[in-house]
Amino acid sequence: MSAVARIPSPVDVVRMHVVKRRAVFVTPLLIVAAVFVVTTIISLALQRLGTPMEDAAAADGARNNPAVAWALSGFVVSLGVMAVSTAFPFSLALGTTRRSFTVGTLLSNAVIAAYFTAIFVALLGLELLTGHWFAGIHLVDVYALGAGDVRYLVPIVFLGTLALMSIGSVFGAAWIRFAAPGAATLGVALGVGLALALLLAAPVLPDIAAAFRVWWLAVAAVAVIALASAGTLLFLRGASVR
């Protein structure tokens, strides 16, 4: 029997990741629902304490609530870690190349980021349509997610999710390559690197802040995604599954 003709593509790897629909597609909805419940309780409690939510100052305060972004970010990073740490050995068992697995994982992360973006756009639409859920509740119309402007919301959620998943993936790959010390060393190295960069840039930080443009964040996210994906491939190329 000779070699087969069809080589699995990165799209097959995407399928491998997203086939567990409940974990990938339902869990984030449950997290958003939980955040919505907590936000609603807090908002109603504030209203009962006499805070007028129709007030512009109160609405401005409510827009400072990044709960949904924070609540999902941990889940998103964990998805990225698991996408590599547990799926990579299975992917090799099925006969995938490391390159194909890395590209497929990046594509899968992009599919999940697009799904998250669609959820947030739909939620923003509902939030604005219902006058903030009929009770002055700010879940998605918050500063961290573009303050109700869909032109900001889409790149923030898509690139933010993809960047966090890519960071998770590179940590998963470091764990596969060097086990726990690998992931820990990478974490420490990133922390020290960021601290040093901040230290070096400190004298010019006011100038940078003055010149800051929002699109810089998008460029930074794309750079993080590219670097993390390259790092993932680099770690996985040298990894032996044992």
Partner 1 sequence: MTAPAAIEVIGATRRFGRRNAVEDVSFTVPENSVTGLLGRNGAGKTTIMSLVSGQDRPTSGEVRVFGEQPFENGRILSSMSFVRDNQRYPEDYYLRHVLDVAPRFHERWDAELAARLVDGFRLPAKPVVKKYSRGQLSALGIVLGLASRAPITIFDEPYLGLDATARAMFYDALLQDYAEHPRAVLLSTHLIDEMESLLERVVIVDKGRLIREDSTEDLAGAAFTISGIAAAVTGFVDGRRVLREHRVGGLLSLTVEGALSPAEKAEARDAGLDLAPARLQELVAAYGADLANENEGARA
Residue whose CB is less far from partner 1, 138 or 177: 177
The distance between the two most distant Cα atoms of the chain, rounded to a whole number of Å, is 78
In the region spanning residues 95 to 124, those forming contacts with partner 1, defined by CB under 8 A, are 95-100
Radius of gyration in angstroms for the set of CA atoms belonging to the chain, rounded to a whole number: 21
- Identity at 241, one-letter amino acid code: V
Q: Which residue from 165, 172, 28 is spatially nearest to 109, judged by alpha carbons?
A: 165
Q: Determine if 15 is a binding residue for partner 1 (CB under 8 A).
A: yes
Instruction: Specify the residue, 19 or 210, whose C-beta has the smaller distance to partner 1.
Output: 19
User: Within 13 Å and on the Cβ side, how many CA atoms surround 164?
Assistant: 19
Distance CA 235, CA 85 (A): 12
3 binds partner 1 (CB under 8 A): yes
Stretch that binds partner 1, among 9-17, 53-61, 121-129, 163-171 (CB under 8 A): 9-17
- Cβ-count burial of 37 within 10 angstroms (0-12 exposed, 13-18 middle, 19+ buried)? exposed
CB 216 within 8 A of CB 159: no
Residues 67 to 86 in contact with partner 1, rule: CB under 8 A: 82, 86
Regarding 16 and contact with partner 1 (CB under 8 A), the answer is yes
* Site membership for partner 1, residue 177 (CB under 8 A): no
Could you tell me the smallest distance in angstroms from the CB atom of residue 1 to partner 1? 4
Contact predicate 135/43, CB 8 Å:
yes
Please, what is the minimum distance in Å from the beta carbon of residue 10 to partner 1?
A: 11
Q: How many residues bind partner 1 (CB under 8 A)?
A: 34
Query: Does 132 contact partner 1 by CB under 8 A?
Result: no
Distance separating alpha carbons of residues 32 and 75, to the nearest angstrom: 11
Residue 201 CB, nearest distance to partner 1 (Å)?
38
- 181 binds partner 1 per the rule CB under 8 A: no
Binding residues for partner 1, rule: CB under 8 A, are 1-8, 12, 15-17, 19-20, 22-23, 82, 86-87, 89-90, 92-100, 237, 240-242
